[in-house]
Structure 1
Amino acid sequence: MDASSHIDDLAAFVTASPSSFHAAAEVARRLTEAGSRTLDERDDWTGTLTGGERVLVVRDGAVIALALPADASAVTPFRILGAHTDSPGFVLKPEPLLSGGAWQQLGVEVYGGPILASWFDRELELAGRVVDAEGRSHLVRTGPIARIPHLAIHLDRDTNTGFAPDRQRDTMPVVGVDGDPADLIGALAASAGLSAADVVGIDAITVDTQPPRRFGLDGTLFASGRLDNLSSTHAGVVALGAAQPEGVIAVLATFDHEEVGSESRSGAAGPLLADVLERVSAALGGDRSAFHRALAGSWCLSADAGHAVHPNRGDRHDPTVRPVAGGGPLLKINANQRYTTDAAGTALWTGICAAADVPWQPFVSNNAVPCGSTIGPITATRLGIRTLDVGTPLLSMHSARELCHVDDPARLAAAAQAFLSGVGSDR
């Protein structure tokens, strides 16, 4: 897929994925249409897998998808592309309708680390899932219903010199005027074809409703919400669909809750990936020893977003390592293991990108600026497998609307396809 087609498809993927639950459903839909079969975690998988098959497991907002080579066995190593489906925002609180100052508002809780100011004065929708009395989940999205309003400059003359919104007082979105009819649960339920009485549980997050778009003098820039980390999730779907694994089992692992530490049943710190991989190894006739032999030859490519040098604040970056938008995906390095890339991972990445004809750039943090982290260290700790960290360079990470160069997501997908196909040394 060329860069222009890839960015158009990424825009469609982001639009279809307003929440982690929607993203997982969209990943599953695309892979199913391409020939993958869904495995039920409650079933016995013994003897049900064969070489050459493609299968997937969905758990809440996470998906584990595998492409088996024709000669797959219990000791075949895994090539895992890890990404995440969630993004920062505001999650709906219980009893969410509030009344104050003649306005109807939503009670929301800050999720992850959003750039709060970027969320003001945008038309927002709610998206996620509702659960009915029988425990069935239904995807929901409301369309634009909410807005977090700035205080006018006439009422705060210092807003341009010291705007620091209070996370409780200033972030409650307005959804109407006090006294007007309001049925928030009904609006969520209706989007799933349910009545308000059917809904007994809600997991919903705010989403900016402005669609993704290309821009810039030559159209080479791309703005969108949730590029961290749907750009990597989408690259993984494209890469797995095109990969022809040889000597490895190709795996796409898209987790939820990375933005809040990954500690959940669908997060990278939970047992999901280890459980699925061990059960696949067992279904191919192996025991626990065979599974650990497979892990010993395995790699994880932790794909998350990274930072391009900021045009106005270059002082926040390393003075010599200066990755740019349009320069190719980043190889993320941190001596304190916030990223897991080491010399062996660098060698593998170099070979992969050479085979895929993809330029790449190193990334390392300024020593005076705290470094973020990814699922890479978590996966390495959970499974004991070799891991490296990569990602698309962005501006405005964790803004309601992030920015990348149109060429870089396709390059990440091309490198990921080579990785999942088994290119590069695994020694």
Structure 2
Amino acid sequence: MRTPSGPFDRGHTEDLMSFLAASPSPYHAVASAAERLEKAGFRQVEETDAWDGTTGGKYVLRGGAIVAWYVPEGAAANTPFRIVGAHTDSPNLRVKPQPDAGAHGWRQIAVEIYGGPLLNSWLDRDLGLAGRLSLRDGTSRLVNIDRPLLRVPQLAIHMDRSVHTDGLKLDKQKHMQPIWGLGDDVHEGDLIRFLEEETGLGEGDVTGWDLMTYAIEAPAFLGRDRELVAGPRMDNLLSVHAATAALAAVAAQEDLPYIPVLAAFDHEENGSQSDTGADGPLLGTVLERSVFARGGSYEDRARAFAGTVCLSSDTGHAVHPNYAERHDPTHHPRANGGPILKVNVNNRYATDGAGRAVFAAACDKAGVPFQSFVSNNAMPCGTTIGPITAARHGIKTVDIGVAILSMHSVRELCGADDPHMLANALVAFLEG
């Protein structure tokens, strides 16, 4: 993972770009992470099966979430965990239960707004469609239509002169429904029949779906010296990718004092309250079963949790050169300045002084710098899975991430050095 020449590794960043392109939905993201872990020797375990206490790497998949862990040789039942937490979902436009719509000769797809996207960034983009199809036989299948299929057309300036004086105003219901063809008649079931044909399924095989739009433009290096990366879903697949790489790197080591864990949840963008979200029981159940599978008691579980630390890794805000006054005047995180430590005394982030010391030690060991982020007192502060994880499981949690611009846009922007510096810091943290 680490390179003698310094923290920046173009290969790591290029692999991140491939990961982003291969992960247009949370379901694809966990499949991509699982594929990387399989290559590192991890094996999937089913939640419905009995678990054993054998050493090695294991992971569970549930919908758009993955929890993976590595049990070192000789790990005691009360061995604490070192967890990197992240989330797999991003704001977007998601297909409604009755998707077929249209008017005035245009065929459209009915969508619902997921999370808090920058709606203007979705206008006049070539959009694909991806997600999960649930089948009549009880199985599911991933689908990815990776070509220009949909588009949300913006109203021409000639018909909205007020945009110059009043700004662009978008009605989420009326103005965000994408077009995907021409026709005067709306035929119920058209979209699902189209997807059945595209995926080689029979008519009527699909009985449920979780589908979302995405911009098909590939991630790319940007800038005079290619020192920036522009791409989709960096919030928060950048952290999922770094954590997956870090877990795979430490799994080859011996004498780890902790059990390293990756926990990538779904539904962070709308509150985390689901069976695959950070506010659900998934992580706690997996950790407890790991303790009990190694012959541990409830006392061992309590001792393991008491010594556990979680890094909640999510993107944060780099100082914006056009809106510097919106940032705290003494905290201006910069691209390629290293990962950020996120602090909010009202516990919108979970970091405290002891947590800062843990992260500072990891960065020092990794040889990477880090920066601090706090919000301007006049601006509401966002939040992460960090406070939820800390409160739900009683686990020491620290909020960190990478500073980006254009958060929640269809394409976000970060420094090309920062992803690998984050991954190196995560390796050092998981090593203990």
TM-score by length of 2: 0.95
Which runs of 5 or more structure 2 residues have no equivalent in the other structure?
Answer: 2-7
Residue 192 of structure 2 aligns with an amino acid whose one-letter code is I
Whether 2:169 is the aligned partner of 1:164: answer yes
- The answer on whether the counterparts of 2:109 and 2:179 sit within 8 Å (CA) in structure 1 is yes
Give the deviation of 1:49 after TM superposition.
2.4
Confirm or deny that 1:308 pairs with 2:308. no
- Give the C-alpha shift of residue 181 in structure 1: 9.6
Aligned partner of 2:413 in structure 1 is 403
Shift of 1:179: 4.1
Distance 1:190 1:213 in 2: 32
Contact kept, 8 Å, 1:128 with 1:203, in 2: the verdict is yes
CA contact (8 A) 1:214 1:220 kept: yes
CA–CA distance in structure 1, aligned partners of residues 194 and 313 of structure 2: 36
What is the Cα deviation at residue 323 of structure 1? 0.7
Contact 2:235 2:407 (8 Å CA) reproduced: yes
Counterpart among 226, 239, 248 of residue 232 in structure 1: 239
* Structure 1 alignment gaps of length 5 or more: 423-427
Counterpart in the other structure of 1:425: none
1:49 matches 2:53: yes
Contact 2:53 2:295 in 1 (8 A): no
Q: CA deviation at 1:318?
A: 0.0
Aligned to 1:92: 95
**Does residue 5 of the first structure (1) align with residue 26 of the second (2)?**
no
* C-alpha deviation, 1:129, in angstroms: 0.4
Q: Do 2:121 and 2:409's aligned partners in 1 also have CA atoms closer than 8 Å?
A: yes
Q: Compute the displacement of 1:74 (Å).
A: 1.1
* Paired residues of 1:141 and 1:191 also in contact (CA < 8 A): no
Partner of 1:155: 159
For residue 157 of structure 2, give the secondary structure of its aligned residue in structure 1.
coil
SS of alignment partner, residue 73 of structure 2: coil
State how 1:14-413 maps to structure 2 within 5 Å. 14-45=20-51, 48-51=52-55, 53-143=56-146, 144-161=148-165, 162-179=167-184, 183-243=190-250, 244=253, 246-413=256-423
Letter in 1 for 2:177: M
Give the match's secondary structure for 1:154: helix
The whole-number CA distance in structure 2 between the counterparts of 1:192 and 1:326 is: 41
Q: Partner of 2:98: helix, strand, or coil?
A: strand
| 1:9 aligned partner, one-letter code | D
- After TM superposition, the score normalised by the length of structure 1 is 0.96
User: Are the equivalent residues in 1 in contact too, given 2:94–2:111 (CA < 8 A)?
Assistant: yes
Following the alignment from structure 1 to structure 2, what is the Cα–Cα distance between the partners of residues 116 and 57?
34
Q: Deviations over 1:64-113 (max 9, x none)?
A: 00011212121000000000000000110011111212211110000000
The one-letter code matched in structure 1 to 2:24 is: P
Q: 1:140 touches 1:189 (CA, 8 Å); kept in 2?
A: no
Larger deviation, residues 210-219 vs 238-247: 238-247
Aligned partner of 1:228: which letter? D
Tell me how large the CA RMSD over aligned residues is.
1.2
Range 176-185 or range 324-333, more displaced: 176-185
**1:174 counterpart letter in structure 2:** I
Q: Offset at 1:180? A: 8.3
Equivalent position SS for 1:8: helix
Q: 1: CA distance between counterparts of 2:16 and 2:149? A: 25
**Residue 65 of structure 1 aligns to a residue in which SS?**
strand
SS at match of 2:150: coil
Across the two proteins, how many residue pairs are aligned to each other? 419
**Counterpart AA for 1:401:** R
Q: Residue 188 of structure 1: CA displacement?
A: 2.1
